[in-house]
Every structure is written in structure tokens, then in C-alpha cells.
Amino acid sequence: MRIGIVGGTGAAGSSLGLRLSSLGHEILLGSRTLEKASSVAESLMKLPGQTGTIEGVVNADAAKGELVFIATPWDGAQSTVGALAKELSGKTVVSMVNALMKVGSEMQPVFPARGSVAQSIQAALPSCFVVSALHHVPAKELGEIGISVESDILVCSDHADSKKQVMELLDSVPGLFSLDCGSLANSGAIEAMTAVLINLNIRYKTRTALRITGLRRN
């Protein structure tokens, strides 16, 4: 599958691109400038064990993927996708964006007017099928090809078929286990939890991820 990552040159987006490319997907790594996208994509392609395809492109071309992830900073996500509405029309769009701000020495959640970044993206893209996922996965581990990530992925959407498609893709990543957490209205709580995990990482000098107990796992 051709997968686009809008705003994909940051830690989360580039790690996701690296991992998915290792599974055989063609990655369109997007940025506002072609120069930056090409530079990051070139560096990823040189990493040991990389056998996939990652192409650096501008965000408008990343939005032409069959499935598109949004990995931009939270305060620019709605305006960025709004400008790409034509390219994204009718597609499954995955928001992995967290609204966070630093207050003193800790990270705290920010709640957008619509309740979550994912809901804001859905409002900006009424013709798209927005899915919320990948908020709690440590970027470093996600980008380490060949190493199991070991994390549950909490997935929300108002669109059952798109949710299923995204969950199946994420479950193909060794160590990830996706969980259906209901409608997009639940994304606010999931996004906010990221601040707690980051504060744990800082306090305990580690990289945390979530595992939900009490579930039957196949």
C-alpha cells in the first residue's frame, strides 16, 4: 500500500514511516518543504536493515497516498489538513497528533474546542473517514526495525470500516495490539493521557507504553 504521512519528518512520523516501509509499504514522507522531506527520507533509507521504500515529498503529495497519517504539530493540524481537503477527500485519515503544552517542568494536555485534535481534523475534513490512533507509542522503539514495540494501540473512529482497516495495519507491526475504543468522541481522553506518559518518562528516565489488562488476546 502507498501510505502518506503528512508532517512526517518529526520523530513520530519518521519512525512510523520506517516501520511501515520495513513491512513492504511504500511511504510518502511529507513536509512543508521538499528539501527537508528529501533529507529525512534519504537518512532513513541509509539506516541498517532498511529494505523498504521511503520517498520525501511535500505534504500535498503525501496526501495522495491510499491511506494517510497526520503527524503535524497539534496547533497546525487543522489548518494543514484543511488546505489538503481536495487530496484527502474520501480517504481514511489517521490522526496521531497529541495536543500538549509544557507548564513549568511538566507536560499538560490541551483540549481543543471540539474536544480533541482528531475531532478537529474530522470537522475540517467532512468527506474523510478520520481514525485516531498511535498516541502512546514510543517513537524510538517504533523506529527500531526488527525489535518488537510491545504496546497496545487505542483506536477511535466514527467509521467502522476505516477503523478496521487501520487496526489490521497496526496489528501487522510486531508487538502492537490495537483495541477498538469506540467513537471519535473518546479520542480526547486518549490524547490527554499522552501527557501523563511523557511525565512518567521524564520522572523515571524511561519510555513508557500502554498495556490494558483483563483482555483475551489471540
Q: In the predicted model, is pLDDT for residue 149 greater than 80? A: yes
Angle between helices 187-204 and 117-124 in degrees, nearest 10: 140
* Whole-number Å distance between alpha carbons of 22 and 170: 13
- pLDDT band of residue 86 (cuts 50, 70, 90) is very high
Confirm whether 116 is domain-assigned: yes
Confirm whether 63 is domain-assigned: yes
Q: In the predicted model, is pLDDT for residue 218 greater than 80? A: no
Q: pLDDT tens for residues 112-126?
A: 999 999 999 999 999
Q: Which domain holds residue 116?
A: 2-204
Residue 88 Cα distances to 118, 189, 211, angstroms = 15, 26, 32
Confirm whether 212 is domain-assigned: no
Mean pLDDT of the chain: 96
**Cell numbers at 153, concatenated:** 494501540
* Whole-number Å distance between alpha carbons of 167 and 184: 15
Confirm whether 216 is domain-assigned: no
Confirm whether 90 is domain-assigned: yes
Question: Are the CB atoms for 63 and 39 separated by under 8 Å?
Answer: no
Question: Are the CB atoms for 33 and 59 separated by under 8 Å?
Answer: no
- pLDDT band of residue 51 (cuts 50, 70, 90) is confident
> What pLDDT score does 101 carry?
97
Split into its structural domains, the chain has a count of: 1
10 Å Cβ neighbour count for 178? 21
Please give the torsion angle defined by the CA atoms of residues 64, 95, 11 and 2, in that order, rounded to the nearest 10 degrees: -30
Q: What is the CATH number of the domain that holds 40?
A: 3.40.50.720
Where b means 16+ CB within 10 Å and e means fewer, 79-113 reads: ebbeebeebbeebbbbbbbbbbeeeeeebebeebe
List the single range of 46-50, 86-90, 91-95, 141-145 with lowest mean pLDDT: 46-50
Confirm whether 210 is domain-assigned: no
Confirm whether 176 is domain-assigned: yes
* Whole-number Å distance between alpha carbons of 110 and 104: 15
Q: What is the pTM of this model?
A: 0.97
Contacts of 127 (CB under 8 A, 6+ apart): 85, 89, 90
Confirm whether 213 is domain-assigned: no
**Cell numbers at 166, concatenated:** 487501520
